[in-house]
């Protein structure tokens, strides 16, 4: 029996032309977005595979822990590897605390005044300054003005200045993601602003802060110009396997500088050595990023909101 007011033979739940058109657009958008993601992944996999294949003759534990020999045409990369660890570790130990505390002030304490707006604009602009400009600043500020000389300290501080704006910006975004209701609830029960930041805001934003800090590892490890002007050296003799190979007032080798050197300045170098150096540098960065992702996932799983 046909309901009153309905058309015989007509299904009121059948898809209309508008619904079918929306469904087709949804499918097309899904395929386009998937194609864009695939277009990004395929070149990355191809580049990594090419590097690994070309580096295979030299890739081994001995390559990492051995010293360069015969004018860096043979041997390993231990001085450059340990020098990179020094540069990245010291630069992050300086830029991370300063950047996080500066972001806390700008997001939690600073009022909306012309001076604070100027500081925010300066932070955004500094994030886009080319690395060669940071290199010249480090040369003038730390090598000459502060009289640190060409050293690990000068190079690390230059890298710290270079990574500082991005750490500040990413930390501010992480702090801003914490709902204001959390802060207001703490203030209403008598907590001070610092107690609220320390007990509520920072614990709930730590995963985002960690992401911003760790992402700067790849930039600090891969930069050549800032360390070339301030502390990197063509060759430095160290003991094999020595984890304390350098002092802060000494120059050091670095993987990025070493890769540039063996690729352009050293004749008759073994063909696989530059590729193996690139694989070690890339693998080190990927390993740190993977550890950061695992830690971020663990922290997010323990969030209370």
Sign of the CA dihedral with 124 first, then 130, 131, and 133 last? negative
CB atoms within 10 A of CB 253: 28
Q: How far is the C-alpha of 80 from the C-alpha of 65, rounded, in Å?
A: 10
* Region of residue 9 (phi > 0: left; psi between -120 and 50: alpha; otherwise: beta): left
Q: How far is the C-alpha of 153 from the C-alpha of 228, rounded, in Å?
A: 13
| Alpha helix segments (H runs only) across 56-147 | 61-65, 78-104, 114-126, 131-138
pLDDT tens-place string over residues 73-132? 888 889 999 999 999 999 999 999 999 999 999 888 888 888 888 888 888 888 788 888
Residue 232 three-state SS:
strand
What is the value of pTM for the model shown? Answer: 0.83
pLDDT at 184: 86
- pLDDT at residue 22 tops 60: yes
CA torsion angle 38 41 46 47 (round to 10): 150
The encoded tokens of residue 107 equal: 């997001």
For the residues 213-221, what does the mean pLDDT come to?
Answer: 81
Query: Which residue bears the tokens 């008598």?
Result: 190
pLDDT at 303: 63
Query: Which residue bears the tokens 């430095």?
Result: 236
For the residues 215-221, what does the mean pLDDT come to?
Answer: 81
- Cβ-contact 171, 263 below 8 angstroms: no
Residue closest to 226 by CA, chosen among 134, 129, 125, 288:
134
Helix axes 152-176, 202-222, angle to 10 degrees: 140
| Alpha helix segments (H runs only) across the chain | 17-55, 61-65, 78-104, 114-126, 131-138, 152-176, 180-188, 193-196, 202-222, 225-230, 255-264, 272-301
Burial status of residue 83 (CB atoms within 10 A of its CB: 0-12, 13-18, 19 or more): buried
- pLDDT at residue 305 tops 70: no
Percentage of the chain surpassing pLDDT 90? 21
Question: Residue 271 — very low, low, confident or very high, per pLDDT cuts 50/70/90?
Answer: confident
Residue 152: phi, psi to the nearest 5? Answer: -60, -40
pLDDT at 5: 52
The encoded tokens of residue 80 equal: 């450059």
Give, for 75, the enclosing helix (H) or strand (E).
strand 74-75
Residues 6+ apart with CB under 8 A from 68: 74, 75, 76, 77, 79, 235
CB atoms within 10 A of CB 98: 15
pLDDT tens-place string over residues 168-177? 988 988 898 8
* Domain 67-301, architecture per CATH: Orthogonal Bundle (1.10)
Q: How far is the C-alpha of 56 from the C-alpha of 279, rounded, in Å?
A: 10
Strand partners, 155: none
Residue closest to 246 by CA, chosen among 152, 159, 149:
152
């Amino acid at each position: 029996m046909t309901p009153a007011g309905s058309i015989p033979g007509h299904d009121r739940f059948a898809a209309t032309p508008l619904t079918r058109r929306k469904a087709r657009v949804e499918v097309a958008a899904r395929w386009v977005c998937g194609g864009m993601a695939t277009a990004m992944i395929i070149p990355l996999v191809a580049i990594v595979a090419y590097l690994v294949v070309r580096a295979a003759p030299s890739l081994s534990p001995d390559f990492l822990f051995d010293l360069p020999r015969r004018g860096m045409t043979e041997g390993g990369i231990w001085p450059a590897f340990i020098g990179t660890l020094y540069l990245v570790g010291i630069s992050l130990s300086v830029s991370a605390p300063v950047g996080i505390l500066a972001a806390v002030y700008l997001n939690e304490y600073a009022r909306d005044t012309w001076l604070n707006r100027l500081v925010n604009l300066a932070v955004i602009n500094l994030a886009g300054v080319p690395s060669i400009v940071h290199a010249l600043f480090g040369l003038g500020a730390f090598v000459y003005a502060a009289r640190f000389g060409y050293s690990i300290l000068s190079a690390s501080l230059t890298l710290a200045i270079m990574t500082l704006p991005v750490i500040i910006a990413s930390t501010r975004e992480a702090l801003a993601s914490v709902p204001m209701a959390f802060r207001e609830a703490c203030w209403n029960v008598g907590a001070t602003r610092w107690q609220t930041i320390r007990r509520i805001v920072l614990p709930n934003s730590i995963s985002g802060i960690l992401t911003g800090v760790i992402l700067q590892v790849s930039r600090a490890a891969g930069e050549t110009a800032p360390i070339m002007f301030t502390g990197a050296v063509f060759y430095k003799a160290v003991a094999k396997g020595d984890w304390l190979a350098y002092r802060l007032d000494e120059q050091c080798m670095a993987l990025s500088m070493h890769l540039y050197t063996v690729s352009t300045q050293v004749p008759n170098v073994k063909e696989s050595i530059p590729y193996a150096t690139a694989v070690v540098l890339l693998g080190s960065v990927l390993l740190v990023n993977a550890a950061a992702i695992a830690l971020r996932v663990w922290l997010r799983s323990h969030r209370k909101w």
